[in-house]
């Protein structure tokens, strides 16, 4: 369902990380349909090129820049930002959608897993944003949306390291928002509950296995635990991200917007 026009983000250049993933992929399509120029990045080049093909009809080939990057690597982050600015000019918007699940129950956590989860979900997001932010500071404009999670607001049983990394994203979003708004740059976070992507299915599968039920039963249980009775679609999350990037949201600052079918109340 289109809720914006193809002028809502006309000429804005937005860089989307995790664009090969469920939420990033859909966000790219929504933003392209709103007139944005896009840098799409992820680790899987084939998937990025597949996305590019879909975006061409919405935005035109000249408005799409594709770049693979491992965001845990500073040189890769620098190359991404520099090549993106060179290809499509000033980066007006940044969507930090790259992320990984993982963690496990407390007694099973190991240092390597915790470091990996914090590295991708928090540290990489922070240092990529820093690079883009330095450029935004020169222009005194920009909009940044970080993917946190419902887990980053209330914790999740059995997913402690992931939840901690998403709490970090919110703490950092709110702190950065205070500094950035002095320069006309807005920073916000979105906090989805379960979304129809591989990440959610993996988590539901793991829980189902532990409880000795089938994946289908696990899916039914997960949906039934949500007041609205269902898991969010990627389009619903993408539309929320898109809204935060538009002028309609110009006084929304440091927000952690939940998209959970009311699940945060349970
Ligand atoms: P996904 O697994 O489908 O996609 C994740 C993306 O991150 C992929 O494109 C992957 O390539 C990229 N990525 C991971 N590590 C990377 C690295 N080192 N360098 C570059 N890219 C890397 O996940 P998704 O469901 O689309 O989730 C997107 C974001 O939303 C994540 O931050 C996730 O934590 C958050 N989130 C998802 C859900 C959900 O239920 N799916 C719920 C709440 C929050």
Rounded to two decimals, the ipTM of the complex is: 0.99
Query: In this structure, is residue 102 part of a structural domain?
Result: yes
127 CA → ligand 1 middle, Å: 17
- pLDDT of 11 reads 86
What ligand 1 atom has the least distance to the C-alpha of 166? 34
Residue 161 maps to which CATH number?
Answer: 3.40.50.720
Determine whether 39 is exposed, middle or buried from the number of CB atoms within 10 Å of its CB (0-12, 13-18, 19+). Answer: buried
The 3-class secondary structure across the chain, one letter per residue, is CCCCCCCCCCCCEEEECCCCCHHHHHHHHHHHHCCCEEEEEECCHHHHHHHHHHHHHHHCHHHEEEEECCCCCHHHHHHHHHHHHHHHCCCCEEEECCCCCCCECHHHCCHHHHHHHHHHHHHHHHHHHHHHHHHHHHHCCEEEEEECCCHHHHCCCCEHHHHHHHHHHHHHHHHHHHHHHHHCEEEEEEEECCECCHHHHHHHHHHHHHCCCCHHHHHHHHHHCCCCCCCECHHHHHHHHHHHHCHHHCCCCCCEEEECCCHHHC
Query: In this structure, is residue 214 part of a structural domain?
Result: no
**Which of 20, 21, 161 is the best mutation target for the ligand 1 pocket, counting ligand atoms within 8 Å of the beta carbon and taking the most?**
21
- pLDDT of 265 reads 87
Query: In this structure, is residue 68 part of a structural domain?
Result: yes
What ligand 1 atom has the least distance to the C-alpha of 72? 18
2 CA → ligand 1 middle, Å: 24
32 CA → ligand 1 middle, Å: 20
- pLDDT of 6 reads 82
Identify any residues that bridge with 42 across adjacent strands, giving them in sequence order. 68
What ligand 1 atom has the least distance to the C-alpha of 23? 26
Query: In this structure, is residue 164 part of a structural domain?
Result: yes
- pLDDT of 157 reads 87
Is position 162 annotated as part of the catalytic site? Answer: yes
- Residues of the chain with confidence (pLDDT) below 70: 1-2
Determine whether 226 is exposed, middle or buried from the number of CB atoms within 10 Å of its CB (0-12, 13-18, 19+). Answer: middle
What ligand 1 atom has the least distance to the C-alpha of 151? 43
Query: In this structure, is residue 168 part of a structural domain?
Result: yes
Q: Whose CA is nearest to atom 31 of ligand 1?
A: 99
Q: How many domains does the chain have?
A: 1
- pLDDT of 55 reads 97
Query: In this structure, is residue 18 part of a structural domain?
Result: yes
Residues lining ligand 1, CB < 6 A?
18, 20-24, 42-43, 69-72, 97-100, 120, 147, 149, 192, 194-195, 197-200
Domain region containing 165: 13-196+232-259
Query: In this structure, is residue 115 part of a structural domain?
Result: yes
98 CA → ligand 1 middle, Å: 4
197 CA → ligand 1 middle, Å: 9
Query: In this structure, is residue 42 part of a structural domain?
Result: yes
Q: How far is CA 38 from the centre of its chain?
A: 15
């Amino acid at each position: 369902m289109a809720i914006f026009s193809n002028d809502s983000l006309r000429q804005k250049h937005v860089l989307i990380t995790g664009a090969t993933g469920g939420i990033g992929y859909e966000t790219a399509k929504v933003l392209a349909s709103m007139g944005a120029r896009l840098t799409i990045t992820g680790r899987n080049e084939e998937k990025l090129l597949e996305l590019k093909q879909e975006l061409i009809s919405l935005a035109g080939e000249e408005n799409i820049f594709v770049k693979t990057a491992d965001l845990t690597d500073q040189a890769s982050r620098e190359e991404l930002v520099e090549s993106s600015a060179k290809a499509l000019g000033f980066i007006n918007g940044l969507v930090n959608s790259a992320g990984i699940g993982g963690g496990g129950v407390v007694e099973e956590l190991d240092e390597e897993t915790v470091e990996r989860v914090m590295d991708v979900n928090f540290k990489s997001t922070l240092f990529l944003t820093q690079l883009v932010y330095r450029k935004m500071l020169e222009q005194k404009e920009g909009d940044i949306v970080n993917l946190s999670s419902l887990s980053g607001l209330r914790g999740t049983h059995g997913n402690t390291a992931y939840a901690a990394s998403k709490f970090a994203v919110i703490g950092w979003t709110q702190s950065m928002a205070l500094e950035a708004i002095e320069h006309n740059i807005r920073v916000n976070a979105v906090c989805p509950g379960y979304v129809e992507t591989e990440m959610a299915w993996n988590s539901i599968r793991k829980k189902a296995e532990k409880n000795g039920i089938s994946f289908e039963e696990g899916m039914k249980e997960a949906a039934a635990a949500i007041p609205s009775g269902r898991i969010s679609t990627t389009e619903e999350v993408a539309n929320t991200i898109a809204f935060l990037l538009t002028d309609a949201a110009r006084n929304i600052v440091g927000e952690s917007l939940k998209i959970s079918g009311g699940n945060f109340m349970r």
